[in-house]
Amino acid sequence: MSSVFAGIERAEVFGRAQHIRPGLHRIRIDELLVKRSAKVKTSYFIVEGTIVSSVGGRPTTAKELPAGTKVPVSEPHQPGDKVSWIQDAAQTPFLSNVKGFALALAPGATEADITEASLLDMVNNDSTRGPVQPCAGILVDCDAFMTVTAKGGDFTAITWIAVDPSK
């Protein structure tokens, strides 16, 4: 007889990080991953990081609110908080979003420098060689703000910015 735990030996456990809130954040990269979904036919590019510094105070909605309604604002993350940024490969802006992130990790790189091979090198979590993470420890700035989707929902958009290593 099977229990509710049948198949647990094959289950993967992922980081328990929170999504990035609106604000300006400095993040230390912990790992970059590509994971295939077991439920739907897509893959995800995942950035796991640790907050170094954070400033909140940004609106938490981009939707038009009734007159006189106070716009809620974001709280900053705390230094040491674990955060994730997840991109769905099935979505149209996937490659553009990932390229923008990769450019922030490689100050001085041009768009032409970001290739399939360079991304594979950045992720490099080939289980045959162990969890090599060449981007671990790199600092990157994150400008997160709310925007309204085509369907009228709120979405946290992110602009990634290279950190000047001299600062």
User: Which letter does DSSP use for residue 104 in this model?
Assistant: H
- pLDDT tens column, 24-69: 999 999 999 888 887 778 889 999 999 999 999 999 999 988 998 9
Question: Tokens 């958009």 sit at which residue?
Answer: 157
Residues 28 and 35: their CA atoms lie apart, in Å, by 21
The pTM of this model reads: 0.84
Q: How long, in residues, is the chain?
A: 167
- pLDDT tens column, 109-146: 999 999 998 888 888 655 555 567 889 999 999 999 99
Report percent pLDDT > 90 for the chain: 59
Q: Strands 43-55 and 82-88, how do they pair?
A: antiparallel
- 3-state class (DSSP) for residue 99: helix
- Cβ-contact 131, 125 below 8 angstroms: yes
Which residue ranges make up each domain of the chain? 16-162
